[in-house]
Each structure stands twice: as C-alpha cells, then as structure tokens.
C-alpha cells in the first residue's frame, strides 16, 4: 500500500510546479477575500451605528462608497479565483484522460499476457521447453525468459493498481474542485446582488445631499477647517522637533555653527521597511491620501489629506508601526487626542484617540499600544499619517498590503 501511495505521488509530481503556483494564488486570494469581508463587516457596523443620525449623510455616503469599493474588489478576487478553478478543472480532466488511457493500455497488454499464459498453462510444456534446449546456455536463456515473463506479469499488475489509485485521486480532486467552484459562484451571485443594493443606496444619498446642499456645505466647511488645522499643527510640531534636535538644523554658539543630527540608524531601519510596516489598526479605509473632489459637489476640492482615515470597530486599540520615541500628544477639534511618534527623520501620527497609553519621551516598540480609538459624533474613525521630515507620505505605500 505504501509503495502504491509513493507511485501515486510520483505520478502527480509532473504537474506539481503549476499546481503549487495555483494553490499559492488561491491561498493569496482567499486571504484577500477574508480581509475584504472583514472590512465590509466593519463598514456595515458603522452604518448601523449611524443609521439614526439625521445629520450624518456625508459620513454615510463615505462609508457606503468605501463598502462599494471593497465589494467590487471582493467580486474581482472571486472572479479571479473562479478563473484559477476553471483552469485547474480543465487540467485535472486532462490528467484523468491521460491516466485513463494509460490504464486502458496497461489492462489490454496484461490481458494479452494472461491469455498467452493460459494457452500454455500446462507446466509440462514449460519443462519440455527448457529440457529440449540444444545446449546448457540455451537452457539458461529459456529459463530466464520464462522467469522474466512471470515477473513482467506481476509488474504489469502492479502498474495497473498504481494507475487505478492515481486515477481515483484525480477523480476525487476533480469533485472537490467542482464543489469549490460552485460555492464561489454562489458567493459571486450574492455579492453582485449586495453591490447593486449598495449602489442604489449611494444614489439615494447623493440625491439627498444634492437637494440640501446648503445644510451639508456648512458641515463640510467645518470638517475642512479641522483638517487644515491638523495639517498645519503637525507640520509645525515636526519643525519644532527638528529645531530641538529631532532632525538636521543649525545655530550658533560662541560664534561657531552647531548642528543637531537625526538618529540615522533608526531612520535607515524605518526606510528599509517601506511596504512592510504593520497597519496601526484593523479597519476599512474611508478617506485616502492626497487631494480629492467632493463625491457629490464635484466642483468642490477638498483640503489635502495627509494620511488615511479608517473605519474601525468600537474600542479598537491603535499600535505603533515601528520603534520610536513619543514626541508630542496634542488635542485638536475633530481629531481629539493625537500622538506623534518620532522614528529618526520620520514621524507617524495616531489620531482620533479617546485615551492614550504613552506620554512624551516614552520609547515605543513595534506593535505597542499607543491609545484607544474614540467614538466622535457616533463615528468610530481612526486617522493615521506618516511624514518624512515635513513632507507627508502616502501611508498605503509604506504599510503592508
């Protein structure tokens, strides 16, 4: 039995590189789909918490649009999974066809051997065949032929059993692939239905916001003021830190120029981890980095967003993305408590916090809790920024996919 299992594995080894690649792609897609489903669950929770708030249509629209984007990515990942599954099913069917053909060929050859042996089944004929040899050498050769014939029959029977076992393995794999494909197709149908419903909800919100433009523009102006105040405050704080010794600077002492030098080692370590830093929280992005136009009032350009804002579960804890030192803790309208952490030439900002677990001067490690996200106006949102000196960076370029 063990030998049969080994042969089955060897028979499948030829297709291993492609199968391994497909398996790796499927695992990556499954991980992506699971993450997107978690993000959608967070957004649904936020929408439910805001469902009774009359003045939160702007927030609801942002959440719904983020959910639509996540849903579209989820459907795209599922479609890609279906393509891989379809390809695997075709490959599996081809392998089954090849194994079946081999099995049929082996069986036909074995049948011929059996028939030949049956016709000459009288053992006396075999004895006479050997004894009638004209020399001892010919006798040995005839004896060897008879022995190899018997061995070939045994080997042929073994090959048939091994091929049958491999065939069964492939048939079972095919059934498993078909079941998985059917399940994914059902999920895609369900996701497309939810997407249509969310798009309808988005359209209704856009229509409502368009009708009550004056009312919502005042809310928008207030949010914009808060964002501009945050941008100015963080840039000022970083400049102050650099002048104190958190970065390169110059001054005079006794007629001589002096300079303060950043922690070059920490800066280099931070920079070398670009694209691999952990996310400070688990959640769904609802506001991305950069300049954007308002989703409803297209002629309105929003202030520069120097970071990313994520919808999170209530009570989520924010964690440091890298080793560093807490520079400042400030309180700003709309952003509540904000923690600024220095990483040499780089800075990270953790804002919209209800409580903080650190104080200025504290050394923090990667993954250490810096605070708990606040619920502000019924919203559980976390804002994160990453700066290189006084230049804001897109956090999505620095954090893990």
* 141 and 229, same domain (yes or no): no
Q: What is the pLDDT of residue 388?
A: 95
Please give the C-alpha separations between residue 65 and each of 71, 72, 201, 291, 384, in angstroms, as whole numbers. 10, 11, 10, 17, 20
| CA 272/CA 276 separation, integer angstroms | 9
Closest C-alpha among 264, 99, 262, 260 to residue 166: 99
Query: Who contacts 161 (Cβ-Cβ below 8 Å, separation ≥6)?
Result: 4
Query: Do 260 and 248 contact (CB within 8 A), yes or no?
Result: yes
171 and 30, same domain (yes or no): yes
Same domain for 253 and 170, yes or no, is: no
* One domain for residues 192 and 283: no
Could you list the residue range(s) of the whole structural domain that residue 146 is in? Answer: 2-211
Quote the pLDDT of residue 147. 55
Within this chain, do residues 47 and 189 fall inside the same structural domain, yes or no? yes
* In a shared domain, residues 26 and 127: yes
For residues 353 and 42, give the distance between their C-alpha atoms in angstroms, rounded to a whole number: 18
In DSSP terms, 379 is beta-bridged to 376
Q: Does the pTM exceed 0.75?
A: no
Statement to judge: residues 269 and 182 lie in one domain: no
What span, in angstroms and rounded, lies between the C-alpha atoms of 82 and 64?
26
Cβ-contact 266, 187 below 8 angstroms: no
Q: How far is CA 34 from the centre of its chain?
A: 8
Residue 196 and residue 251 in one domain? no
Q: Which two tokens stand for residue 371?
A: 């605070």
Sign of CA dihedral 329, 332, 337, 338: negative
How far is C-alpha 213 from the chain's CA centre? 39
Domain match, 176 and 262 both? no
Quote the pLDDT of residue 344: 93
143 and 31 in a common domain: yes
User: What end-to-end distance do the CA atoms of the chain give, in Å?
Assistant: 45
Number of domains observed in the structure of the chain: 2
Long-range contacts of the stretch 238-243 (C-beta < 8 A, 24+): 238/340, 238/347, 238/387, 238/389, 238/390, 239/390, 241/327, 241/328, 241/340, 241/342, 241/347, 242/389, 242/390
Pairwise CA distance, residues 287 & 66, whole Å? 8
Domain boundary, last residue among 211, 241, 256: 211
- Dihedral sign of CA atoms 156, 161, 164, 165 in order: negative
Q: Tell me: do 346 and 244 sit in the same domain.
A: yes
Q: Look up residue 293 and give its DSSP letter.
A: B
The CATH number linked to 310 is: 2.70.70.10
Domain termination residue (choose one: 211, 245, 278): 211
Domain boundary among 190, 211, 232: 211
Q: Which of 210, 226, 380 is nearest to 295 (CA)?
A: 210
Instruction: Return the structure tokens found at 18.
Output: 């492609």
**Please, what are the averages of pLDDT over each run of 10 residues along the chain (401 residues)?**
35 43 73 79 73 62 83 86 82 79 71 55 44 55 53 66 78 82 85 84 77 70 86 90 59 38 86 95 90 71 88 93 95 94 96 96 96 88 95 95 73
Q: Which long-range contacts (CB under 8 A, 24 or more apart) does 366-370 make?
A: 366/278, 366/320, 366/321, 366/322, 366/323, 367/278, 367/319, 367/320, 368/319, 368/320, 369/317, 369/318, 369/319, 370/280, 370/318, 370/319, 370/320, 370/326, 370/339, 370/341
Q: Are residues 254 and 387 both part of a single domain?
A: yes
Residue 123 confidence (pLDDT): 46
């Amino acid at each position: 039995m063990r030998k049969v299992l080994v042969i089955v594995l060897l028979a499948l080894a030829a297709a291993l590189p492609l199968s391994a690649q497909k398996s790796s792609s499927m695992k990556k897609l499954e991980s992506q789909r699971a993450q997107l489903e978690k993000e959608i669950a967070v957004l649904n929770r936020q929408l439910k918490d805001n469902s009774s708030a009359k003045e939160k249509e702007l927030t609801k629209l942002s959440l719904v649009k983020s959910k639509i984007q996540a849903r579209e990515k989820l459907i795209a990942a599922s479609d890609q999974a279906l393509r891989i599954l379809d390809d695997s099913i075709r490959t599996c069917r081809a392998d089954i066809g090849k194994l079946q053909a081999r099995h049929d060929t082996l069986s036909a050859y074995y049948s011929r051997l059996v028939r030949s042996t049956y016709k000459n089944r009288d053992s006396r004929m075999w004895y006479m065949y050997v004894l009638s040899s004209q020399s001892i050498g010919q006798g040995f050769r005839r004896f060897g032929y008879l022995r190899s014939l018997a061995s070939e029959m045994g080997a042929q029977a073994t090959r048939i059993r091994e091929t049958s076992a491999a065939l069964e393995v492939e048939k079972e794999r095919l059934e498993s692939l078909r079941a998985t494909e059917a399940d994914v197709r059902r999920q895609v149908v369900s996701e497309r239905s939810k997407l249509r419903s969310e798009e309808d909800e988005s359209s209704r919100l856009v229509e409502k916001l368009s009708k009550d433009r004056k009312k919502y523009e005042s809310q928008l102006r207030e949010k914009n003021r808060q964002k501009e105040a945050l941008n100015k405050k963080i840039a000022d704080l970083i400049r102050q830190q650099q002048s104190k010794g958190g970065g390169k600077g110059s001054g005079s002492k006794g007629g001589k120029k002096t300079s303060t030098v950043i922690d070059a080692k920490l800066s280099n370590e931070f920079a070398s981890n670009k694209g691999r830093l952990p996310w400070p929280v688990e959640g769904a992005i609802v506001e991305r980095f950069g300049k954007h136009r308002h989703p409803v009032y297209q002629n309105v350009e929003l202030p520069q967003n120097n970071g990313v804002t994520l919808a999170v579960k209530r009570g989520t804890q924010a964690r440091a993305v890298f080793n560093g030192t807490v520079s400042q803790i400030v309180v700003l309208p709309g952003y509540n408590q904000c923690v600024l952490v220095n990483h040499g030439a780089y800075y990270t900002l953790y804002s919209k916090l209800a409580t903080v677990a650190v104080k200025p001067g504290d050394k923090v490690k990667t993954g250490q809790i810096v605070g708990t996200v606040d619920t502000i106006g019924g919203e559980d949102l976390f804002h994160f920024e990453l700066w290189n000196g006084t230049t804001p960076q897109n956090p999505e370029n620095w954090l893990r996919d």
